[in-house]
Structure 1
Amino acid sequence: MKINLKPFLLIYICVTSFLCNKAFSQHKTDSLSYYTRAIEKVTSEETLAKAYQYLIEHLEVKKKQNNKLGIAYDLYFLARIDYKVGFYDDSEVSAVEALKILDGLKVNDYNTKLKTGVLNLLGQVYNQKNMFDKANETYLKALSITSTSRDSMVLYNNISNIYKNQKLYSNAKNTLVKAIKLFNRVEDSIEKARVIDNLGFIKFKLNSQGAFNDLNTAYTIRQNVDNIAELYPSYKNLSEYYLSKKDTVQALSFAIKAYDVANKVNSLSYKLDAVKTRYTLGDNSVFKEYSFLNDSLLKAAKLSQNKFALLKYNVSKSQLESQIEKSQKQVYQLLAVVILILALGLLYFFRAKHKKEKLKEVYTTETRISKKVHDEVANDVYQIMTKLQSNDNVNEDVLDDLEQIYLKTRDISKENSTIHVNQDFEILLTDLLANYSSNQVNVITKDIVKVDWKKVSDVKKTALYRVLQELMTNMKKHSQANIVVVVFSQKNKKVTINYNDNGIGTTLKKHNGLQNVENRIQSVGGTITFTSTINKGFKANIIL
């Protein structure tokens, strides 16, 4: 059963809101330079949160003073915090607001430097939002005003990353060549290593000469820099390079080094990336860790965003009311949330119970009718046939008609009889489909063994069995198909079944057969879609 975590997140938000406010009131460093440096090199989420609150308060002071440059400066660093947390829309709003202010100020070195930083950040935001043309345009604007070689080099490297994301490797290479021409005027070895490593990777993608030399040069530079995190991209790119050369030993060696760096810097994203690389190289020992890290990264990212969403909410509230009033209100909110959770939980429980009972009643009714048809109608018809067969004066056509009625009642009984889906469902389903195969119809079943049927509820398995039974029966009666293909697949907890036949097709209308099939699937929370045109077969896609 899928559990909705949103109510529990609401409780977490309310509780951590109170704790965060208390912590901020106890620890406050009134230093703008301290917090801007903290944003440059984040050491913890708590530091970033404190920087955000300080900047909000500092921004209000600058607004009261009508200090345009101070407002733009604070907005820029608030935008950077939002970018780091993953609030790209909020980051864009603050950065654009800062840019508008800077456009109206006098041009000087300081203002130009700040404007370049704002444009560079905006380019990064648009890149994250996959607005590549917009990102490229923004970086070019920054290039047109920057006065330092280092900033130009960084911007060229960022532009190359846009092209790399779009797999426009030739454009990326040409851009990086421009960055390298600035090396003589730049002393920042870390930024140089990033450019060289990027160029080596692009050359490798283009099968150009010198790829390994560039990758190795960047690696050597990074080894001499006191920043272990910078080694990660070198290890990763070298691993990918050796893999392309089919040197799996070296590829795995660098993948393991990348993994070690990820653990030392304690970066979830690096760890996940490194484990994925090792698994791709055939190191199956990290499969469980990959699944764990993937879940952990998603949870950590969501939790971090929840914390900052909560922080923004609290900061705005604190500007309007006192801390005591806010705390009291949060207590009431927490009580309301708890009551709401209980109410929703009870509602969900009773709805699920009612739905389950209703489904059970449907299947019980079907089984009861099936038994009644078999025990009473079919047996009575059979007895009449037996009596009439002993009478020489009975018309053979009448006997044939009675036999057809008997066969139909037997089929109806069989189609609605009890299904034991709790054991060997794969075999049960295979037998069902195989029963429709004949000299006239070839039924092909694919990948049924790849579905973990033990994780599918009995209610869903029963519904699926009945639906496939209905589809196959309709095929046999109406389609005139000679080939039927049923393909199974599973992704996470979702099971998909694709039915396809080459029959005469039909004009889709919600007649009783298709409507019953759709109702069955919807009753267990699944979906089914039909596709068919005259003389072009019939298709059904089922998702459970």
Structure 2
Amino acid sequence: MFRLLLCLPLIWFCACTQSNEHLDPTSKNNDSLAFYNNEAREAQYSMQERLEFANRAFEGVREQPKHPLYTKILYNKNWLHYSLGQYDSLVHYDAVMQKNAAVNTAPKEMGMQHYLLGYYFELVKHQSDSAFKRYNRSKTYYQQANDSSGTGTALLNMGGIQYKKRDYFGSKETLTEALKYIKKETDSVTYWSAMDRIAQSHRHLHNYEEALAFYANITKEAPKANLSVYKNNYATVYIDLKKYQKAIAILEPLVLDTLANSETTQARVLDNLTYARWSSGVFVKPQDFLKPLEVRKLQDDKRGIISSYLHLSEFYLKPQPELARAYLDSAKIQAKEINSSGGELEVLVFKMQLEPQNAALKERYIKLRDSLYESELKVKTQFAKYKYDDELKEQSILRLENEKNLRELELAQERFTKLWIIAALVVAILLILLIYYVQRYKARQLKIQHNIDRLSAIYDTEAAISRRLHDDFGSGLNTAMLLLQRQENIDAILDQLEKLYNQSRDFSRSLNDIDTGAGFKDALSLMLRSQVPQDTNLLLLGFHKIDWDLVRPVNKITLYKILRELMLNMRKHSAAKRVTLKFEMHSKHLKIMYSDNGKGASHEALQLKNGLRITEKRIEAIGGSISFETDEQSGFTSHIKIPF
């Protein structure tokens, strides 16, 4: 049964043939390597023909161990060497494969290769240690490939070797680990075989309750295909416990189901049933023991033959001691052939019953028992060491890989950081250049706009002067000319000329330079008061608290003309009885609030006043601001901000 399980991956691999049409070696989608490798797996060809395809494929990658198909091609070739019994070639190309293992990137195929060599060492070379090592390496590669089925199968074989070497505790641990990877639903044969072997390990460790619990579960859920094997092993637990009737109840139905049993299984069932019946006191004939023995001889079942000889020797121990001794000698020969110290030890137990006074037998028994104990201890330690060393090696590899990955990550982070720094510098430079050019553009545009505003203010001022000259002086001159033409009273003409002179003087003063020095405060106060009609009260709040030295000369001139325009507008249009000017000092600007209780004006009329438009342009040119609030019922208000 166990050997069949070992063969399953190989049988599966052999049966994996393509369902599609054969690849064309000239096809654009498949190169010659893939073609020959796939042909080497086709079951329709003979094994020798398949090997020829594999050799052709390998020739294409012999010097390219990093080629993606290298490991797959070489594993395929090795499997064919094994199948053809070409073991020297198998070992040679396995060495080639292991030599290039460091650069291989196909962990699953590496796992399959180690599994194949484990199978070779176990069943061909009978070297359990080497087989165990290879299965252990196979497990590691299967884990790297995330192949749970392969991992579980490798562990199952490792546990089987430990079981054969009587390392039952180690076997139980290994098989329990295997169950973590084997899926009951998709790999039931492997799963239930592992469960059976764990139960048998419990049996040999005398953990009978655990063994019975396992078998109760196995016989309830396991598929029918191997159920006879599991039930037979179930019965052996009851035989060890001397509960023969329970063993008989399990075994008797199995004898009748000959179609479900192989000859090997049928022989085991018959032998165990006969032994259970005889042990329970039921009469049995010697033929009942001899029949399964003959089957075992035909099947060359060495361990089964030893079991039959021991049962027959026990059967004849009292009635025919000499015949019992003959069977014991035969059992001893078989045990030595397969190097079974345990079988030889059981032979000595019965021989000491035949010859209780034979000191040599007792001495041999003690020596063999101690030797077997030391051997089992050595095996346990050895297998544990193999697993431990492999774990250390794997940890070392993982540590080196982690260190390599960490270095690569650090280098990548450094490159990433440098790229970010460079990118940040580039972005910063671009932003600085962008801000510089935007600010430069804005400054240029602001300068242009400032010049435009200045020109506009100049043009508006010239237009205002022109209208004033036309309206005031034009009408006055026209009146004087009429008086001269009519030869009116000379006093009237002189009065008109004096009026024109006063107007020209006032007009000249309004255009002359404004004192922006120490006399600005008095000049501004005089101008404000001179513009107020006799029946209007002027209230100046905070005027004397202002430090006029903080205000730039050009801003003083602008403020002077703005306030004069507001006072002129009040005098001509508002008929206000009270005018209030409130001055406030702030950290960066001077704030003035003008208000009167005159007639006010609509927003439409306000927009048409040319003087106010000029005022707005003047204050905007120096970075200040002015706003108007007016209503025909509540008067006129203006808020002015002048920067220092």
TM-score norm. by structure 1 comes to 0.48
TM-score norm. by structure 2 comes to 0.41
Computing the radius of gyration over CA atoms, which structure comes out larger, 1 or 2?
2
Higher normalized contact order (CA 8 Å, seq sep 6+, divided by chain length): 1
